Amino acid sequence: MSLVTDSPVHSSSSDDLASYLDAHLASGSTGSSGSSADDETDDESDHESERIKRHKAENLEIPEEPEGSTSREYSEQIVDSEQSVETTINQDSCSHPGSFGGMCMRCGKSLEEKSGVTFGYIHKGLWLANDEIARLRKTDMKNLLRYKKLYLILDLDHTLLNSTALTHISTEEEHLRGKVDSREDISKGSLFVLEHMHTMTKLRPFVRTFLKEASEMFEMYIYTMGDRSYAQEMAKLLDPKREYFHERVISRDDGTQRHQKGLDVVLGQESYVLILDDTEQAWTKHKDNLILMERYHYFASSCQQFGFSCRSLSEMETDENESDGALATVFGVLKRIHTIFFHELEDELAGRDVRQVLKTLRKEVLEGCKIIFSRVFPTQFPASHHQLWKMAEQLGAKCTVDLDDSVTHVVATDAGTEKSRWAVKEKKSLVHPRWIEASYYFWKRQPEESFSVDQKASS
Ligand SMILES: [Mg+2]
Ligand SMILES: [Zn+2]
């Protein structure tokens, strides 16, 4: 078990939690109950308690750093938890903040009926009570805000990278086998083969810069629907020196709901969390935190899986652009949100909500546009439920079904419809639906002439 981070300036509730747990575990092996919370780690616990003591001593000696360091809170918290275990622990009065293997980590009582959440990615068999989670979130929030950091949850597939089974590599992709990067220095490469998983993985352009710079502004988590071993392997490729994620790698094995991702397993308060993911349906409860990413399809199998018949980036021997690709674009947005949150909002820091900032910023993109759709949706389909309608409204456009002179844009795929012809006659913008999508993903109103309907219809 190695949970305590060595970085004194690192602020994370899960890191703090780790030290807290270590303190509890260490005391458990010498405490009045005499029983360790985890039989298998008896030896380790002793060893661990030595290390913790050392760590505590080190922490307590660290003077307050000028740029602000969490070390003080960090050591205070360890001292707090130490004090709490030095008092006699009564099973009846214990609040049972959490458990390992079914036993309360504070008093040792066997806990069967419990309300709370499992945090297996922090420690196998760890469960925390709701009150304890709330407490940790609050502590962490204060730390993070002091360092002007928010939380960022990152999806893996199609957001930060693209993977394919080796057996699915197409004939046109064979050239890739000669271009695979060595795993000797992972931080220099972007195309890897993981033989034992029969997988080839391509990192999205700009991802290394993205992680490095975003880590200055955010406490980052990986959250994938892949299984734990896949998540860990990908984390090694993205973060070979374990600088960014530490133990904050959440896989589908750690979620509380099937086919859904949830912030319940994240130790950050929802109002300070942003999510980057290409799959909106994974986050039905947290749409307001989500920045939807344009999918990164590098491999042919990925295109096929999503029903595209075009050639993949790998087959065309090209890639997304480093400097203005999806990750570079979204990085600019994150930076803007961060600046607004910490430097432009005037209300009290603790009351700020990053979801509100995200919403406001997005609404600026198509501000002032009034859109009418022409035969874009199936006839019986309620227009306002359509993804494009919702996207346009999120971007600040007004959508309507009534054609009048206040309409600025007609969105259509066919230049021959009545409304399309009206647009041309009245000198309104006639654009392809992709104009909305592109504006959405690029966070910028796209030039209408690049999305003209004639051109798209004939291509
Ligand atoms: Mg994904
Ligand atoms: Zn207890």
380: number of Cβ within 10 Å: 5
Above pLDDT 90, what percent of the chain?
A: 64
User: Cα–Cα distance between 117 and 98 in angstroms, integer?
Assistant: 9
Q: How many A from CA of 295 to the centre of ligand 1?
A: 8
For the segment 204-256, what is each residue's pLDDT rounded down to a tens digit?
999 999 999 999 999 999 999 999 999 999 999 999 999 999 999 999 988 88
- Residues 383 and 411: beta-carbon distance below 8 Å: no
145 DSSP 8-state letter = H
Q: How many A from CA of 103 to the centre of ligand 2?
A: 8
For the segment 308-366, what is each residue's pLDDT rounded down to a tens digit?
988 999 999 999 999 989 999 999 999 999 999 999 999 998 899 999 999 999 999 99
Q: How many A from CA of 278 to the centre of ligand 1?
A: 5
CA dist 136 → 140, 150, 245 (Å): 6, 15, 18
So what's the pLDDT on residue 113?
66
Amino acid letter at 125?
G
Q: How many A from CA of 156 to the centre of ligand 1?
A: 6
In this structure, of 106-120, 152-166, 309-323, the range with the lowest mean pLDDT score is 106-120
- Ligand at minimal distance from the CA of 282 is 1
Instruction: Say whether pTM exceeds 0.85.
Output: no
CA dist 235 → 151, 152, 405 (Å): 17, 15, 53
So what's the pLDDT on residue 4?
35
| Coil, strand or helix at 290 | strand
Q: What is the CA radius of gyration of the chain?
A: 26
Q: Name which residue leads in pLDDT, 52 or 87.
A: 87
- Residues 20 and 37: beta-carbon distance below 8 Å: no
Beta bridge partners of 221: 153
- Ligand at minimal distance from the CA of 132 is 2
Q: How many A from CA of 211 to the centre of ligand 2?
A: 39
Mean pLDDT for the stretch of residues 72-80: 36
- Ligand at minimal distance from the CA of 28 is 2
Q: How many A from CA of 361 to the centre of ligand 2?
A: 46
So what's the pLDDT on residue 91?
84
Q: How many A from CA of 115 to the centre of ligand 2?
A: 13
Q: How many A from CA of 124 to the centre of ligand 2?
A: 19
Amino acid letter at 218?
F
Top-ranked range on mean pLDDT: pick from 41-45, 73-77, 264-268, 391-395: 391-395
Q: Following DSSP, what letter does each residue of 46-114 receive, concatenated?
A: HHHHHHHHHHHHHHHHPPPPTT--THHHHHHHHHHHHHHHHSPPPTTT----EEETTEETTT--B--S-
In this structure, of 8-12, 21-25, 320-324, 369-373, the range with the lowest mean pLDDT score is 8-12
Top-ranked range on mean pLDDT: pick from 21-35, 95-109, 165-179: 165-179
Q: How many A from CA of 318 to the centre of ligand 1?
A: 21
For the segment 396-450, what is each residue's pLDDT rounded down to a tens digit?
999 999 999 999 999 999 999 999 999 999 999 999 999 999 999 999 999 999 9
Q: How many A from CA of 155 to the centre of ligand 1?
A: 6
So what's the pLDDT on residue 76?
40
Provide φ and ψ at 208, rounded to 5°. Answer: -65, -45
Q: How many A from CA of 328 to the centre of ligand 1?
A: 18
CA dist 446 → 247, 366, 392 (Å): 40, 9, 13
- Residues 226 and 155: beta-carbon distance below 8 Å: no
Contacts of 39 (CB under 8 A, 6+ apart): none
User: Cα–Cα distance between 283 and 295 in angstroms, integer?
Assistant: 16
Query: At 116, is the pLDDT very low, low, confident or very high (cuts 50, 70, 90)?
Result: confident
Residues whose beta carbons lie less than 5 angstroms from ion ligand 1: 155, 157-158, 278-279
Burial of 262 (0-12, 13-18, 19+ CB in 10 A): middle
Q: How many A from CA of 106 to the centre of ligand 2?
A: 5
pLDDT at 66 over 70: no
In this structure, of 125-129, 178-182, 435-439, the range with the lowest mean pLDDT score is 125-129
Mean pLDDT for the stretch of residues 38-45: 38
Provide φ and ψ at 369, rounded to 5°. Answer: -90, 140
Burial of 54 (0-12, 13-18, 19+ CB in 10 A): exposed
* Interhelix angle 71-86/42-61, nearest 10 degrees: 130
Look at the alpha carbons of 191, 158, 269, 363 in this order and tell me if their dihedral is positive or negative: positive
User: Cα–Cα distance between 285 and 14 in angstroms, integer?
Assistant: 22
So what's the pLDDT on residue 92?
85
Q: Using alpha carbons only, give the angle 283, 287, 291 rounded to the nearest 5 degrees.
A: 95
Closest among 132, 75, 124 to 106, alpha carbons compared? 132
pLDDT at 459 over 90: no
pLDDT at 69 over 70: no
pLDDT at 108 over 80: yes
182 DSSP 8-state letter = P
Contacts of 215 (CB under 8 A, 6+ apart): 243, 244
